[in-house]
Amino acid sequence: MHPNLQKTDKEIFNILKSEEERQTYGIELIPSENYASAAVMEATGSVFTNKYSEGYPGKRYYGGQENVDKVEQLAVERAKQLFGVDHVNVQSYSGSPANMAVYFGLLEYGDTIMGLKLDHGGHITHGLPISFSGRTYNVVPYEVEKDTGRLNMDMVREQALKHKPKLIIAGYTAYPRIIDWKAFKEIGDHVGAILMADIAHIAGLIAGGVHPSPVPHFDVITTTTHKTLRGPRGAMIMCKEQYAKDIDKAVFPGLQGGPHDNTTAAKAVAFGEALQPEFKDYAAQIVNNARALANKLMEYGFNLVSGGTDNHLILIDLTSKQIPGKVAQECLDKIGLTTNKNTIPFDPRPPFDPSGLRLGTPAITTRGMKEQDMQKIATWITAALEHYQDDEYLNNLKNEVRDFCKNFPVPGIKI
């Protein structure tokens, strides 16, 4: 593979080979990651990377758009079919700029927005004080309930009634439970707020029918395309017709210049894949795997935030284990299990050295792993963390993991 790169740029070629090996011989448990198909990667690496096409199909500022227009229209049509929405903008570069475009298009500077606190599972763009969102808008965050680790919709309602936000954001980065969209809708109607769902993590679960959809209740929905949706790195914004003009203007020319047409082509391919019946099986298996992994971990004595999972992710609370998240992440890296340290709600430790570890099943499910494989992974996690200072022990586990991975080819990688 990559014969041209091998000829012209040995340095990058060698690093790429080594990344292909890492992705093949390790177990990818970061819940925001996935393996895009070979077809998605072909589109990403296609000649559409050469084109400039500021504007929208039929209204461009450059010539030669006959193919790009078709690609963008297909991406939009497939996204509409997949999620059942009125309007879609597929030009957002990534999840963060998509959220920025919604705020820029629908709010004035200084307006009040309400999102879940970062250390409770929200995203930086939902109002973290040092992000553009926290610096530009008046943020009144909501929290999960301390005892349960779950959203309590009475608490959300109380916060909304108190501050009357112009925009309420639901949809998270580290929340393992089903989101009650309808309850948000009732609150939004009550206080007159615009409702924005950020389904970056769970878009694939929604498309696959294993998580309820916010579409009937929410005004605007943003999502990345590279997480459970399994497409190229990128994002899109979906909305009700009444917001369509403001959203499109906010994306271009409000925030962006030319769309990345190669990514748009790859988004269209990924949406086409997600429309196939097999994608429903994939989404269901992600959740079954997460549940199996969570149950086994709890059996082995781990505390999980909220006591388990309904979706693709698991948040381990390591406070009772006396191993902080950072040490756990580094220990698991040594055996080829890739995870990420994460804050837990009401975390007593700082964000760069938090008490939690976040795991997820989207990538390993793409490789074809099933419930019985989750048992193995839970056993490796437990054994590694029990022997985190024993490098020889960890090295033996690493070899076991490597052998195991040979049974599960990665789409798009030939070694």
Ligand X SMILES: *Cc1c(COP(=O)(O)O)cnc(C)c1O
Q: Choose, from 119, 198, 273, 310, the residue flagged as catalytic.
A: 198
Q: How many residues bind ligand X (CB under 6 A)?
A: 14
Choosing from 136, 213, 224, 342, the residue that interacts with ligand X (CB under 6 A) is 224
Binding to ligand X by residue 296, rule CB under 6 A?
A: no
Site string for ligand X, 183-212 (x = CB under 6 A): ---------------x-xx-----------
Amino acid at 91: Q
Task: Please indicate whether residue 233 is annotated as part of the active site.
Answer: yes
Question: 303: which strand partners?
Answer: 317
Cβ-based nearer residue to ligand X, 119 or 373? 119
- Tell me how far apart the alpha carbons of residues 202 and 206 are, in angstroms, rounded to a whole number: 6
Instruction: Map the footprint of ligand X across residues 247-276, applying CB under 6 A.
Output: none
Cβ-based nearer residue to ligand X, 98 or 405? 98
- Tell me how far apart the alpha carbons of residues 145 and 130 are, in angstroms, rounded to a whole number: 24
What angle do helix axes 371-386 and 391-405 make, rounded to 10 degrees?
170
Instruction: Map the footprint of ligand X across residues 362-391, applying CB under 6 A.
Output: none
Q: Choose, from 125, 222, 224, 343, the residue flagged as catalytic.
A: 224
108: its two tokens: 């004035």
Q: Choose, from 117, 227, 341, 358, the residue flagged as catalytic.
A: 227
- Tell me how far apart the alpha carbons of residues 297 and 308 are, in angstroms, rounded to a whole number: 9
Cβ-based nearer residue to ligand X, 255 or 383? 255
Do residues 88 and 236 touch, judged by C-beta distance below 8 A? yes
CB of 107 to ligand X, least distance (A): 17
Report which residue's Cβ sits closest to ligand X.
Answer: 95
Choosing from 51, 78, 120, 123, the residue that interacts with ligand X (CB under 6 A) is 123
CB of 175 to ligand X, least distance (A): 9
DSSP count for the chain of H helices, then E strands: 16, 15
Question: 61: which strand partners?
Answer: none
What angle do helix axes 181-191 and 153-163 make, rounded to 10 degrees?
20
Instruction: Using alpha carbons, select from 214, 226, 283 the residue that is nearest to residue 93.
Output: 226
Cβ-based nearer residue to ligand X, 185 or 201? 201
Task: Please indicate whether residue 367 is annotated as part of the active site.
Answer: no
Cis peptide before 253 (omega within 30 of 0): yes
Cβ-based nearer residue to ligand X, 257 or 348? 257
- Tell me how far apart the alpha carbons of residues 263 and 40 are, in angstroms, rounded to a whole number: 9
Cβ-based nearer residue to ligand X, 121 or 188? 121
Residue given tokens 């920025």 in the structure block = 100
Q: What is the CA radius of gyration of the chain?
A: 22
Site string for ligand X, 51-90 (x = CB under 6 A): ----------------------------------------
> CA triplet 322, 323, 326: central angle to 5 degrees?
150
Q: Choose, from 20, 33, 52, 400, the residue flagged as catalytic.
A: 52
Binding to ligand X by residue 32, rule CB under 6 A?
A: yes
Instruction: Using alpha carbons, select from 261, 207, 196 the residue that is nearest to residue 230.
Output: 207
Choosing from 65, 131, 173, 306, the residue that interacts with ligand X (CB under 6 A) is 173
CB of 92 to ligand X, least distance (A): 9
CB of 110 to ligand X, least distance (A): 22
37: its two tokens: 């198909």
Cβ-based nearer residue to ligand X, 30 or 323? 30
CB of 172 to ligand X, least distance (A): 6
Cβ-based nearer residue to ligand X, 198 or 273? 198
Q: Pseudo-torsion of CA 254, 255, 257, 263, nearest 10°?
A: -130
Binding to ligand X by residue 92, rule CB under 6 A?
A: no
- Report how far apart the first and last C-alpha atoms of the chain are (Å, whole number): 8
CA 355 to chain centre: 21
Choosing from 37, 125, 136, 340, the residue that interacts with ligand X (CB under 6 A) is 125
3-class state of residue 377 by DSSP: helix
By the criterion CB under 6 A, which residues form the site for ligand X? 32, 94-96, 123, 125, 171-173, 198, 200-201, 224, 235
Active site residues: 52, 54, 198, 224, 227, 233
